[in-house]
Homo-oligomer: A and B are copies of this chain.
Amino acid sequence: MDIKKYTALIDGELSQIGFPDSPNQLYDPLRYFLQIGGKRIRPMLTLLGAELFGGTYEKAMSQALSIEVFHNFTLIHDDIMDEAPLRRNFQTIHEKWNRDVAILSGDVLMIKAYQLLGQIEGKLLPDAFALFNKTAIEVCEGQQMDMDFEQRSDVTIDEYIEMIRLKTSVLLGCALEMGAIVAEASSNDRALIYDFGQHIGIAFQIQDDILDLYANPDKFGKQVGGDVIANKKTMLHLTAVQNATKEQLEVLKQLQNEDNVELKVDRTRRLFDQLDIRSLCEARMQEHYDIAMQSLAKIEVEEAQKAKLIGLANFLMNREV
């Protein structure tokens, strides 16, 4: 099955998660939010993780949905904290309804994720539950670190990588390992596939930061340079800070206060180009991609079985949006 078919399958299953009619202020927002789409990478990883170890994707479907539903819960609450008006060009829940609705429907969605997780063979539940809980806590820690970093001017690259690891990457590792648990893989294999997912996740997130400034504007769905305009401390920015001369640092600082956004983005890009920031970040991305592939290589299943996962990883690495 190719990636598009998995996405369609997952979208179909998500739309069939039953929510009661009432209280409708609690459940309407969830019906709405789960329909606005997404790449569905996480649940796909769970299905592929199960297949890698000889399980069927059908058997891992509830756990795949659980991970996606949990991810959506984090988006709902993150959107409140970020005061984001839009998510994938749709109004966020706190905008379309209000803050309280977004808090409470987010809460109930997290519990729904646990309910879906629970649809697993009883003997597998303790492991699945422990992995899920550990990951969920880490994701919250990552979100807190992200918010803390906004207030700090001394964030190091290592701290930044640790933040994206927690906020984003552990859930990709968890998604894959969850599939492995359903397929009853060995604990060694479970650790390897988790590691693969985690490092692909870090590489993916660095790629995200690079694309913000270096994407093809014709294909990129968002404004190019959005992170630069918002003075976000991305991998590009932190790498620039680390490599800049005192004079260049001064220029960077001035650019943060530049009101002409076109000028701001262009000059920042020019400065980054002088410092070779794109290559430096791509090298760091490649590092994590390589670690991921080394972990995958150690898993003793037919190489053909790994093809889909490698395909998905390469798709994520070479995307333009």
Q: A10-47, CB under 8 A of B: which get 1 and which 0?
A: 00000000001001011000000000000000000000
Q: Does A145 sit at the interface, judged by CB under 8 A?
A: yes
- Interchain CA distance A143-B104 in the complex, whole Å: 8
Residues of B within 8 A of A111 (CB): 110, 133, 136-137, 140
Q: Does A304 sit at the interface, judged by CB under 8 A?
A: no
Taking the nearest CB of chain B, how far is it from the CB of A143, in angstroms? 6
The residue on B at minimum CB distance from A129 is B118
Task: Flag if B77 contacts A144 (CB, 8 Å).
Answer: no
Task: Flag if B81 contacts A100 (CB, 8 Å).
Answer: yes
- Report the count of interface residues on A (CB-CB < 8 A): 36
The residue on B at minimum CB distance from A74 is B107
Residues of B within 8 A of A112 (CB): 137
Q: Does A148 sit at the interface, judged by CB under 8 A?
A: yes
Task: Flag if B103 contacts A130 (CB, 8 Å).
Answer: no
The residue on B at minimum CB distance from A23 is B144
Q: A196-211, CB under 8 A of B: which get 1 and which 0?
A: 0000000000000000
Q: Does A123 sit at the interface, judged by CB under 8 A?
A: yes
Taking the nearest CB of chain B, how far is it from the CB of A96, in angstroms? 16
Q: A140 contacts which of B26, B122, B123 (Cβ < 8 Å)?
A: B26
Q: Does A141 sit at the interface, judged by CB under 8 A?
A: yes
Task: Flag if A141 contacts B107 (CB, 8 Å).
Answer: no
Q: A126 contacts which of B26, B99, B118, B147 (Cβ < 8 Å)?
A: B118
Task: Flag if A103 contacts B125 (CB, 8 Å).
Answer: no
Query: What copy number does this chain have within its complex?
Result: 2
- Interchain CA distance A122-B121 in the complex, whole Å: 12
Q: Does A310 sit at the interface, judged by CB under 8 A?
A: no
Q: Does A114 sit at the interface, judged by CB under 8 A?
A: yes
Q: Does A80 sit at the interface, judged by CB under 8 A?
A: yes
Taking the nearest CB of chain B, how far is it from the CB of A14, in angstroms? 18
Residues of B within 8 A of A80 (CB): 99-100, 103
Task: Flag if B81 contacts A141 (CB, 8 Å).
Answer: no
Task: Flag if A129 contacts B114 (CB, 8 Å).
Answer: yes
Taking the nearest CB of chain B, how far is it from the CB of A289, in angstroms? 28
Residues of B within 8 A of A126 (CB): 118, 122, 125
Residues of B within 8 A of A245 (CB): none
Q: Does A86 sit at the interface, judged by CB under 8 A?
A: no
- Interchain CA distance A77-B26 in the complex, whole Å: 15
Taking the nearest CB of chain B, how far is it from the CB of A195, in angstroms? 22
Known: A125-B125, A141-B26, A144-B23. A133 touches B107 (CB 8 A): no
Residues of B within 8 A of A118 (CB): 126, 129-130, 133
Q: Which 3 A-B pairs have the closest CB atoms?
A: A23-B144, A26-B144, A108-B140
Known A-B contacts: A103-B103, A108-B141. Give 15 more (CB < 8 A). A20-B141, A23-B141, A25-B144, A26-B141, A26-B144, A80-B100, A80-B103, A100-B147, A107-B140, A111-B133, A111-B140, A112-B137, A114-B114, A114-B129, A114-B133
